Structure 1
Amino acid sequence: MSGSIEQPRFSCALGAQQSVVAIRRSVPVLHSGPGCANKIERLIGQGEGYAGGSTIPCTNASEKEVVFGGETRLREVLDGAFKVIDADLFVVLTGCTSDIVGDDVGSVVKDYRKRGLPIVFAETGGFKSNNYVSHEVVVNAIIDQYAIPNRAPGGVKQGLVNVFATVPYQDPYWQGNLAELKRILTGIGFTVNILFGPESEGLSEWREIPNAQFNIVVGAWVGLRVAKHLEETVGTPYLHFPYLPVGGIASTEFLRAAGAFGGLPKQQVEAFVADEERKFYTHIERMADFILEFRYGLPRRFYSILDASYAIGFSKYLLNELGILPARQYVIDDTPPAHRKAIEEQFAHLSDRRSAEVVFETDGGRISREIRQDGNSSRALILGSGWDRDLASDLHADLLILSVPVQYRLILNCGYAGYRGGLRAIEDIYDRVLNTYR
């Protein structure tokens, strides 16, 4: 049986380079073969950032490094990188070649760290996993080799939380989602280390990670390994919210859970929630007549071709707040078996009356064929990626691109998390529906 898949929607483990690019003034350094960074950036990148894309230093390992080892070449690239790139942190990531050869990258990096240079490393050989898993590997490496040794003074700070919520760039809307999560958590009284993107203070937040009162994992499974690692190493407890909160119901549930876990005054949390709900539902009420009159023009069911966090979050939102029924839901993040039962439970209880069939599948071609053969003739909404444009066109379905690749959409700070994200989702869905009318 072939190991290849059609329409890939995530990258190999080396895709964690994008997680480094998402940290302010941080630079990935690849000890890998030529072309790896470019291929990853073309699939999951949306712009080069501070030092991404063609800016990323790379050893471009060749036959010489395979035969004689690549540690000397890595030192040459690092020497050059420190001379010409102004950065706060360098993160060396290994590719398939160096991991197969067995270069002692840790020893090389340790030598530079002894000289007081800000550098860490992580083993991310592409064959080892995908970029969902390696994102956690890289985050833990930065925590162990940089954050804890350079821990900010002051000890544990009440009200300070670290948020581990998404995989930057793999989630095309990561910047908008993190901004909204920070906004609403700050709104109920927390100080938030969001760690990635323009809403973060950069490496100063990472040095505060060990001082947090607790950690918040927002998502089905990515981030749990980081939270458990911090619990074991520095004793920080964590709260797990198992999907992306989209819209009024889920956002309120998320904030109440976070507030209760952190011991915030209930009245303080409820005051912010009430104001956010008032604004959210005012917009819904303003358009209620239109939505009711146009209900026959809306899709009656939806398919998700998304990672678990998005699939659960959007399924709950579309069903419980927009009344669109779930068809088969495809989870495409190669979910580890240990987490699949919990995800199936979420789909089994989307509401008090509705459940949805969930299929764990990474092959986009197989998913497309199954949806085409579904036999349901009513109008559908497909939550997927740029790969699904032809599928949606052939089925006369509406397509909302939520997953990589996103080559048919420009994304700056758009996000779908929280109250504001729920409103944006309605706008985007109706935009696509109304665009089909002449």
Structure 2
Amino acid sequence: MNGVEKPRLGCTLHGALQTVTQIEGVIPIVHSTSGCAIQQFYAARAGGGVSPYLSGSEIPASNIYEKQVIFGGASRLREQMKNTTKVFEGKLYLVLAGCESEMVGDDVSAMTAELAEQGVPVIYYESAGFKGNTYDGYEGVIDAMFTQLPQIIKVSASTDERLINILGIIPGQDLCWQGNLLEIQRIFASIDIRVNTFFGYGQCLENWKQAYQAKLTVAVSSWGLKAAQKLQDCYDVPYIEVPGAFLGETETTAFIQKIAALLSVDTQKTELYLTEERQRFVHALRQIQEYYFTYQFQKEFAIVGNEGIILRYGTFLTNTLGMELKTAIVTDARETDDDLKPSEDLIKLGASNLCFSKDTGEIARILLHTKPELLFGSAFELCLNIPQMVVSYPSNAPVILRRCDIGYTGALCVMEDVSNLIIANDRQRGFSEK
């Protein structure tokens, strides 16, 4: 088996922790060896994460060692769960079983059921790190939440005609996840649609309870499809997929019109809102037109990131700013052969070079060979001396609170950053030549 140089993804347990700790009121209990939770905390903090509701040494953990690995850790988990409920007042407790627990066969399901019988709202997810990566951890947590919540908490199945669910934006792994979720809420609030984003400001366990009432689920990446499918199969909540979400006036407008039609929103109200956003966007374009022609924005560029980022930036930079996508490197492909085949959406981008790799060394070699004029990637690529904007994990900017790269506001943010990158690089090159 080939190794991966400087991987940009954590294990399944790390992804699960990264996800759970951004749900207000949910307390994770890690059933694994000491260090698993703290390692995830330091990795997330270095790569671009912000402080979650619980982090680092605060996270309850069974911290099993040799004795439990040999003889089983069920009794230690039982003890830890009881102690956690005494110290942390949570609305829900989620037990995350790590590698050692699964290898020795601890019956985590029975242990959580035992505590649930005592009236404690507790569920579990078998999140052994060897099962996959950060994205798998996210996918597993939301699947566990939607599957097990109805078994312990009363949820309503009556349909709310003005409520949608948004899935597929991974807390921490998507650098602008907070701003993106807020932008989605802002957009739909303008046409009287409420949104369950499940993570971040204003979202809590109540939103997870309401998920079963939604009129529609929108998966903005393939990592939201499994849970969306479950909501449809078990609770008759239909779903649609919007690969890469949406960035810019054209894509965002088309998306809003589609959702508005599915939810029978007043057409006049929708079009009035879209006209206002279109005018705001066109005004911004006019403000940069002088720079656009003076500094020749029509550059050849490369993108390194998950498929959603590549689709989002690739479409916007090509169709709106007239750039040419030279190289696209997908970093979140699953481990099966089928997932190494480009999707139709990726093919439509028309990249001259389309690759799949998680290996930082291999990615660097590809970029140095294809020689793009601009690069949209992670902090790992900053050493390549290519003018770059960091858009994917890990980041060199640890604090990202409200910036977004989705929708109308996201387009303005990206245009600002791209413009400043091109202008600064051109001026720096001019100084160097002098």
TM-score, normalized by length of structure 2?
Answer: 0.92
Q: Which residue of 1 aligns with 2:85?
A: 82
Whether the 8 Å contact between 1:13 and 1:126 is mirrored in structure 2 is yes
- 1:412 lines up with 2:401 in the alignment: yes
- What CA RMSD, in Å, does the superposition of the two structures yield over aligned residues? 2.0
Structural mapping, 1:15-54, within 5 Å? 15=14, 16-45=16-45, 46-54=49-57
Q: Which residue of 1 aligns with 2:228?
A: 227
Q: Could you list the per-position Cα deviations for residues 327-382 of structure 1 after superposition, in whole angstroms to 9, with x for gaps in the alignment?
A: 110000123658748853113223xxx554321211121111121122x4xx6221
TM-score, normalized by length of structure 1?
Answer: 0.91
Which of 402-411 and 203-212 deviates more? 402-411
Which of 317-326 and 332-341 deviates more? 332-341
Whether the 8 Å contact between 2:281 and 2:408 is mirrored in structure 1 is yes
Q: CA deviation at 1:313?
A: 0.7
- 1:8 lines up with 2:7 in the alignment: yes
Distance, in Å, in 2 between the alignment partners of 1:366 and 1:310 is: 19
- 1:422 lines up with 2:423 in the alignment: no
Structural mapping, 1:99-114, within 5 Å? 99-114=102-117
Q: Which residue of 1 aligns with 2:147?
A: 144
Distance, in Å, in 2 between the alignment partners of 1:291 and 1:409 is: 30
Whether the 8 Å contact between 1:162 and 1:212 is mirrored in structure 2 is yes
Distance, in Å, in 1 between the alignment partners of 2:369 and 2:352 is: 18
Q: CA deviation at 1:410?
A: 2.7
Q: Could you list the per-position Cα deviations for residues 108-128 of structure 1 after superposition, in whole angstroms to 9, with x for gaps in the alignment?
A: 111111111121100110011
Q: Could you list the per-position Cα deviations for residues 182-212 of structure 1 after superposition, in whole angstroms to 9, with x for gaps in the alignment?
A: 1112222311111111132x01111111111
Distance, in Å, in 2 between the alignment partners of 1:300 and 1:151 is: 55
Gapped regions of structure 1 (runs ≥ 5): none
Which of 39-48 and 71-80 deviates more? 39-48
Alignment CA distance shift 1:406-1:195 (3 Å): same
The residue type equivalent to 1:28 in the other structure is P
Distance, in Å, in 2 between the alignment partners of 1:80 and 1:150 is: 22
Structural mapping, 1:326-337, within 5 Å? 326-335=325-334, 337=336
Whether the 8 Å contact between 2:116 and 2:152 is mirrored in structure 1 is no
Alignment CA distance shift 1:307-1:9 (3 Å): same
Whether the 8 Å contact between 1:43 and 1:404 is mirrored in structure 2 is no
Question: Number of paired residues?
Answer: 423
Match of 2:343, SS? helix
Identity among equivalent positions (%) equals 29
Task: Give the alignment partner of residue 206 of structure 1, picking from 191, 205, 208.
Answer: 208
Match of 1:29, SS? strand
Q: CA deviation at 1:299?
A: 6.9
Alignment CA distance shift 1:338-1:144 (3 Å): farther
Distance, in Å, in 2 between the alignment partners of 1:239 and 1:259 is: 13
Distance, in Å, in 2 between the alignment partners of 1:68 and 1:281 is: 67
Match of 2:171, SS? coil
Q: Which residue of 2 aligns with 1:360?
A: 356
Whether the 8 Å contact between 2:168 and 2:225 is mirrored in structure 1 is no
The residue type equivalent to 1:58 in the other structure is A
Q: CA deviation at 1:97?
A: 0.5
Q: Which residue of 1 aligns with 2:320?
A: 321
Q: CA deviation at 1:70?
A: 0.7
Alignment CA distance shift 1:212-1:144 (3 Å): same
Alignment CA distance shift 1:257-1:336 (3 Å): farther
Q: Which residue of 2 aligns with 1:389?
A: 382
Q: CA deviation at 1:29?
A: 1.2
Whether the 8 Å contact between 2:108 and 2:124 is mirrored in structure 1 is yes
The residue type equivalent to 1:331 in the other structure is V
Distance, in Å, in 2 between the alignment partners of 1:363 and 1:385 is: 13
Gapped regions of structure 2 (runs ≥ 5): 429-434
Whether the 8 Å contact between 1:93 and 1:124 is mirrored in structure 2 is yes
Match of 1:322, SS? coil
Whether the 8 Å contact between 1:105 and 1:121 is mirrored in structure 2 is yes
The residue type equivalent to 2:62 in the other structure is T
Which of 13-22 and 82-91 deviates more? 82-91
Alignment CA distance shift 1:245-1:343 (3 Å): farther
Whether the 8 Å contact between 1:147 and 1:209 is mirrored in structure 2 is no
The residue type equivalent to 1:332 in the other structure is T
The residue type equivalent to 1:373 in the other structure is H
Whether the 8 Å contact between 1:31 and 1:92 is mirrored in structure 2 is yes
Match of 1:316, SS? helix
- 1:62 lines up with 2:65 in the alignment: yes
Q: Which residue of 2 aligns with 1:241?
A: 242
Q: Could you list the per-position Cα deviations for residues 143-163 of structure 1 after superposition, in whole angstroms to 9, with x for gaps in the alignment?
A: 122256534447111111111
Q: CA deviation at 1:169?
A: 0.8
Distance, in Å, in 2 between the alignment partners of 1:149 and 1:85 is: 19
Q: Which residue of 1 aligns with 2:432?
A: none
Distance, in Å, in 2 between the alignment partners of 1:399 and 1:35 is: 34
Distance, in Å, in 2 between the alignment partners of 1:302 and 1:75 is: 54
Distance, in Å, in 2 between the alignment partners of 1:356 and 1:226 is: 34
Whether the 8 Å contact between 1:44 and 1:404 is mirrored in structure 2 is no
Which of 82-91 and 228-237 deviates more? 82-91
Distance, in Å, in 1 between the alignment partners of 2:375 and 2:6 is: 16
Whether the 8 Å contact between 1:14 and 1:125 is mirrored in structure 2 is yes
Match of 1:263, SS? coil
Whether the 8 Å contact between 2:253 and 2:274 is mirrored in structure 1 is yes
Distance, in Å, in 1 between the alignment partners of 2:191 and 2:339 is: 32
Distance, in Å, in 2 between the alignment partners of 1:356 and 1:39 is: 38
